[in-house]
Structures are given as structure tokens and as C-alpha cells.
Amino acid sequence: MSHMDHVDAQAVTHLAASVAQGLVGHERLAERLVIALLAGGHVLLEGPPGIAKTRAVKRLADCLSGSHARIQATPDLLPSDLTGTQVYRAGSGGFDFVPGPIFHSLVLVDEINRAPPKVQSALLEAMAEHQVTTSGVTRPLPDPFMVVATQNPIEHEGTFPLPEAQMDRFLLHLRLELPDAGAERGILDLVEAEGLAPEPGPMQRISDGQIRAARQQVAAVHLAPVLKDFIVRLVMATRPGGAVHEWVEHPVSPRGTLALAAAVRARAWMQGRDHGLPEDAEELAEDALAHRLIPSWRAQGEGRSGRSLIADALRAVRPW
């Protein structure tokens, strides 16, 4: 590893700390956002309004040199509001394509469950294919390209729950809770302090080239056969014959296995390791797998969620 690479690695590994700075009690959220960035994945943040979901993504955007955009999802949003439109130019007599907000490196989609299904499927194509097709023309999206979507768990009239295929496209799904009293006091102090002094910007922005270089190093992180087996056994726990299958309507697909392995590599690399550990998989399993399974009606009736079922799988499946 050359000196330059080492500097790159340091800058990128410090990214999570830069994002967490100015967010009270959100170290886990900051780490997960950077894991997804390094693994080339997308993130769904779920939690009540007012807990800094949008602020966290803005902090990440401020640390990256690539462009970013924010889309506020509403029921009247059209796919073209996301992807862009053809505009008639009187001078030339022809149409020009004006790209929409999806053509940015980091795209925040606020309250994604308010977007109608047609918009959600346009977003799905972008997330899955890293390209957008409008009027029969396919255009590539930037590299890196990352979507962070938020949704409030409070169900209102006029929301469209994400279909399973869409949920599966998110590398990680984070559930965020309201802060405890200590964190709440910290938020109050922080906001008051910021009101008196402007927030200092990050020291240096991470370039797209640095992110691509970091991604190559992440992909080279070693997963021992026993660790790969552990990841597979966790996923198999949700399948027929598995420890939690009786509570599962739809088990985790192979995409879940790949997602957990990718997230484990990114976490290991962020901690300066060239190999993954079982604790990486245990730490990330709920965020990488829970949104990919559907609990049975009986499980839901007994208050069991995807997250609690993955927690049960972790207790039943040991690393060795």
C-alpha cells in the first residue's frame, strides 16, 4: 500500500467521525452510512420525524466532493420529476434532455413512502441498474451513486408502502429511535452552541476517485471460509428447516447473503483490518437482513418483527 493509498484510507475511515460530529448519539448511523458508501449500496432510514435523519445525510454530502440532491417525496410526484424531462428549444427546433435530481452522486429521498408506485419503480431502476431510461434512451448515473431514503413509521393517509422488491434493493435498513434524556440534553446544547457559532465545515472533502480506490480495497478484504459459512447459516435460519422459519412468510434471498458479506468487508476495512470477523456479521445482521424477510401473520400477531427474528437467528446460530 503506497503512502498515497494510506492517506486515502485514513481520509475515508475518518469519514464516519466527520459525519457523526454535529449529530448527537448517531455514531451507529454515521458508521452505517459510510459502510453503504464503501460497499456501493443504498440505505433506508426509518424513524420518527425530528431525529436528524436528513441532517445526517447532509453531513455526509458535505464531506463528499460529488454532487448531491434532495427529493421530497409527495403523492403527486411524477417519474420525470426524478429522472428529468425533454425540453423544447425554439432556437434549434429540437428537444434537449434536462436531467433530474437522480443524476447526482448522493441522492436523499425524503419520506419515500409518500411517493406513488410509478416513482418508486423509476427509483428502483436507478438503484438496481445505476442507469435511467427516459423516452427510450438509457443514460448512466454517476459513479459513485448512492440513494439514502427516509420514511416515517407513522402511517398516514396517502402513503404507499415500499414493495418487497424495493426493500431488497437497500443494502441496509436502519431503525432509529427517539433519543434518551441524556442525548436529548446533548441535542439542546449542540443546537444552542451552533446558534452562537457557525458550524465548522469538514477539513477536506473525499473525492470520487478516493471512494473508488477505497471500494477496491474493501472488495479485497478477506472473509475466511468459516465466516462465510456463518453468514450463510444465518440466512438459512430463515429458510425451510431453519431455526426461525416457522415464523417467516418469505425468507431472506441470496441478495441478503451478498449484502451482509459486503457490509462485513466494509466494516472490517473501516476498522483497519484486512479480514472480517464474526462480530462484524453479528453487528450488521439485523440492518442487512431484517428488511428482506416477511414475518408470518402469526409472528406479527405475537409482536415479532423482522429484526427480532434475525436477533433470534443470531442466538440460534453460533459463529463456530
For 70-102, the pLDDT digits (tens) are: 999 999 999 999 999 988 888 888 888 999 999
| pLDDT score, position 50 | 74
Query: Do 226 and 154 share a domain, yes or no?
Result: no
If DSSP states are collapsed to H, E and C, what string results for 180-198?
Answer: CHHHHHHHHHHHHHHHHCC
All residue ranges of the chain with pLDDT < 70 are 1-9, 22, 24-25, 154-158, 179, 183, 187, 192, 194-195, 198-203
Residue 212 lies in a domain: no
> pLDDT tens digits, residue range 142-182?
999 999 999 887 666 667 888 887 889 999 999 887 767 77
7 burial via Cβ count (<10 Å: 0-12, 13-18, 19+): exposed
What's the domain count of the chain?
A: 2
- Residues 39 and 173 occupy one common structural domain: yes
Range of the domain at 262: 221-316
Q: What is the CATH number of the domain that holds 106?
A: 3.40.50.300
Residue 44 lies in a domain: yes
Task: Give buried/exposed letters for 16-29 (b at 16+ CB in 10 A, else e).
Answer: bebbbebbbbbeeb
Inside any domain, residue 208: no
pTM of the predicted protein model: 0.89
**Percentages of the chain per state (helix, strand, coil), in multiples of 5:** 50, 15, 35
Res 51: pLDDT: 72
Query: Measured between alpha carbons, how far is 117 from 162 in angstroms, rounded to an integer?
Result: 8
Residues 46 and 140 in one domain: yes
Together in a domain, 149 and 236: no
